[in-house]
Amino acid sequence: MLMRFYQSSRHILIHVFLLWLISTPLQAALDIEIFGGGTTQIPIAIVPFAGEEKLKQGITAVVAADLQRSGLFRLVDSSGPVLRDPRQIVYPDWKNRGAAALVIGSTVTLPDGQVEVSFYLMDVAKQVQLADYTMIVPADRLRAAAHQIADIIYERLTGDVGVFSTRIAYVVKQGNKYALQVADADGFNAQSIIEYSEPIISPAWSPDGTQIAYVSFENKKPIVYVQTLATRARKAVANFKGSNSAPAWSPDGKKLAVVLSLQGGSQIFLVNADGSGLQRFSQSSGIDTEPNFSPDGQSIIFTSDRGGSPQIYRMPVTGTASGTAERLTFEGSYNVSPHYSRDGKSFTFIHRSGARFNVAVQDLATRQVQLLTDSRFDESPSPAPNDKMILYATEVKGRGILAVVSSDGKTRQELSMQAGDIREPAWGPLLKVR
Amino acid sequence: MKKVISVLLIGLLSACASQTTQPTAVEDKSAAQAAAAAAAVANPNLNPILRDPNNILSKRSVYYDYDSFVVKNEYRPLVQAHAQYLRDNAGARVLLQGNADERGSREYNLALGQKRADSVKNALTLSGAKDSQIEAVSLGEEKPRATGHDEASWAENRRTDIRYQGE
């Protein structure tokens, strides 16, 4: 039956021993489909959670959207009776539907108003349980619970860390108002951190996720502020004569790289997170901007026009080679906005070809470049904390929106968010280790 | 000896900070609207000559060719008139705001706008204005005067504006 299903599809079925679970004695072996370009997508069925129709916020749709957006999962038809218990599962049925993994779950509202959410993750081929989990959450935290479930499923099935419980920051322009907002990684649950009648750009998360650095134009020129999310307290960390912009945190959170016009041109400086101890970092006669630290803190990649067109360069932060910039991009006449991958092995950036601005990734070892998008005006790529997705700003019908592309470029999805012109996304860090 | 590229600037910076021009707050208006609103309100500290439509000093914008930062010859009289005014009025301060069109990276465009503001600053200082009278900053693509997405709008936004303290 299983073979007949796959023969009828145009996908090639192979068996992959996907991961060896360390945390449980179970070892999972899943049937993985390989699509044309080499993408592996795990076919997963998520049965609607029992009882969720009585809640203001369902679980199933959030989990499904998270997994699908990652590009690593393909949703399999899960219609049919509600399942509460693994003993109710008729495995041949799910095999016939092509599911390699199956999620069932239930929700129960407790007398105190909190909701008990339980789920089971099953390996359909082996008919074994890969995970089961029960959590009790306040009724207004059901989306967060759903993201946590998606993280657990993602981690069990891919062996990689899930990022669905992380947050993103971005700027919304609505009319003449600008708001720096923080939302869940799927764009929901947005909250304004600060609102102005003047532009805000370049939000950057501190490594511990408690602060955001950004550039505000409220005082007729760009000034770099650091704002603490919990208290809303903020401090100008770069407010020197001329322009102050492009903040980037060092991995230890102690320093910021900023771009100042203080000594002529636009040059990269390092400053302590409290605004003290300014040091010049780059030395060129033109533009050096958009600094971004390597995850080990040893080097900074940045955009410079020192070679006649904007290209991406790398310079060590310390050591004997400091001061020597190495050019990294050579294809095309416009490569900007570099961001290291979290593993430090590649960087994402914006590449212009013709009149199009697209998200690209370059491997640091092989120098191989891959274009991930084909839209017209993509900006500000920001990698997920597990490097499997990249958040970026793009434009649809003249309106700025956010979108997510999988790191192989195969899966792209726009984040559905409120009205307004949305831009300058920054994906926040992974905050807790489960 | 370890090669040190960093330059410590604390003293210099605090000096600069005190020189930073801080014109009074203008809320929620484009630069053009703000200028018009400021003109409508009599500012006792502002020399009326700067607002006289018959005086070249009322002209405040320098435009650029695509991907260029050169102050074109047609703007030389304008820049020289402002340099003369700054020479004659040692207490006068100007904020030069460079702008860029919307295409491409916001931060890179901010740096491009800075090049434009710097070009006017250089022209002013070469004509005798003091460095301490001038602050060159960039608004990048963030404050477009023309909001269209065509060449005419982009040309309008490749610009440096001269704003006097008090405006």
CATH number reported for the structural domain that contains residue A331 in this entry: 2.120.10.30
Q: Which residues of A touch B161 (CB under 8 A)?
A: none
- Would you call A221 and B97 a contact, using CB atoms and an 8 Å cutoff? yes
pLDDT classification of B19: cutoffs 50, 70, 90: very low
A368, A335: one domain:
yes
A303–B108 CB contact, under 8 Å: yes
Per-residue pLDDT reduced to its tens digit, A153-164 = 999 999 999 999
pLDDT at A434 over 70: no
* Run of H or E including B118: helix B106-126
Residues A149 and A177 placed together within one structural domain of the fold: no
Q: Would you kindly state where each structural domain of chain B is located, as residue ranges?
A: 28-164
Looking at the fold, whether A208 and A353 belong to one and the same domain comes out as yes
Domain assignment present for A285: yes
For residues A297 and A252, the answer to whether their CB atoms sit within 8 Å is yes
- Asked, for residue A402, whether it belongs to a domain, the answer is yes
The predicted pLDDT at position A9 comes to: 32
Residue A70's CATH number: 3.40.50.10070
pLDDT, position A213: 98
Q: Mean per-residue pLDDT for A383-403?
A: 93
State pLDDT tens for residues A189-228. 999 999 999 999 999 999 999 999 999 999 999 999 999 9
Query: Which ipTM value was assigned to this complex?
Result: 0.87
Q: Tokens standing for A43?
A: 């076919």
Domain boundary among A158, A182, A213: A158
Q: Which residues of B touch A (CB under 8 A)?
A: 2-3, 5-10, 13, 16-17, 19-20, 22-23, 26-28, 95, 97, 103-108, 110-112, 114-115, 118, 135-140, 142-143, 149, 163
Beta-carbon separation of B107 and A202 below 8 A: yes
Cβ of A289 within 8 Å of Cβ of B6? The answer is no
Q: Which of A140, A158, A176 is the last residue of a domain?
A: A158
Q: Tell me the per-residue pLDDT of A288-312, one tens digit each, with 9 for 90 and over.
A: 999 999 999 999 999 999 999 999 9
Q: Determine the residue type at A380.
A: S
In a domain, A296, yes or no: yes
Of B5, B28, B136, the CB nearest to A283: B5
Sequence-separated (6 or more) residues with CB below 8 Å from residue B65: B72, B158
> B-chain residues within 8 Å CB-CB of A264?
118
Question: Which of A196, A200, A221 is best to mutate for the B interface (most B CBs within 10 A)?
Answer: A221
pLDDT of residue A13: 30
Identify the domain boundary among A158, A187, A203: A158
pTM equals: 0.84
Query: Do A173 and A150 have their domain in common?
Result: no
Distance (Å, whole) CA B132 – CA B146: 31
Q: Are residues A309 and A192 in the same domain?
A: yes
Residues A131 and A242 in one domain: no
Residue A433 within any structural domain of the chain: no
On whether residue A208 sits in a domain, the answer given is yes
User: Is the confidence at residue A10, as pLDDT, over 90?
Assistant: no
Quick one: pLDDT at residue B37?
47
Residues A285 and A352 in one domain: yes
pLDDT > 70? residue B33: no
Mutate to test the interface with A, among B14, B108, B145 (most CBs of A within 10 A): B108
Backbone CA torsion sign across A255, A257, A262, A263: positive
Q: Provide, rounded to the nearest whole percent, the portion of chain A with pLDDT above 70.
A: 89
Contact B106 A424 (CB under 8 A): yes
**Same-domain check for residues A147 and A171:** no
DSSP symbol at B101 = -
Does A319 lie in the same domain as A390?
Answer: yes
Do both A289 and A251 map to the same domain?
yes
Q: Mind spelling out the 3-state secondary structure of chain A?
A: CHHHHHHHCCCEEEEEEEECCCCCCCCEEEEEEECCCCCEEEEEEECCCECHHHCCCCCHHHHHHHHHHCCCEEEECCCCCCCCCHHHCCHHHHHHCCCCEEEEEEEEECCCCCEEEEEEEEECCCCEEEEEEEEEECHHHHHHHHHHHHHHHHHHHHCCCCCCCCEEEEEEEECCEEEEEEEECCCCCCEEEEEECCCEEEEEECCCCCEEEEEECCCCCCEEEEEECCCCCEEEEECCCCCEEEEEECCCCCEEEEEECCCCCEEEEEEECCCCCCEECCCCCCEEEEEEECCCCCEEEEEECCCCCCEEEEEECCCCCCCCCEECCCCCCCEEEEEECCCCCEEEEEEEECCEEEEEEEECCCCCEEECCCCCECEEEEECCCCCEEEEEEEECCEEEEEEEECCCCCEEECCCCCCEEEEEEECCCCCCC
Question: What does the pLDDT read at residue A95?
Answer: 95
Is A432 inside a domain boundary? no
Count how many domains chain A has.
2
Higher pLDDT residue, B3 or A249? A249
**Residue B114 dihedral angles phi and psi, to the nearest 5°:** -65, -40
* Architecture of the domain delimited by B28-164: 2-Layer Sandwich (3.30)
Task: Report DSSP state, residue B14.
Answer: H
Find the domain containing A47 and state its range.
2-158
Give the model confidence (pLDDT) of A105-128 as tens digits: 999 999 999 999 999 999 999 999
To the nearest whole angstrom, how far is the Cα of B6 from the nearest Cα of chain A?
5
Q: With contacts defined as CB-CB under 8 Å, which chain A residues touch B26?
A: 220
Write down the mean pLDDT value for chain A. Answer: 88
Does the pLDDT value for residue A413 go beyond 50? yes
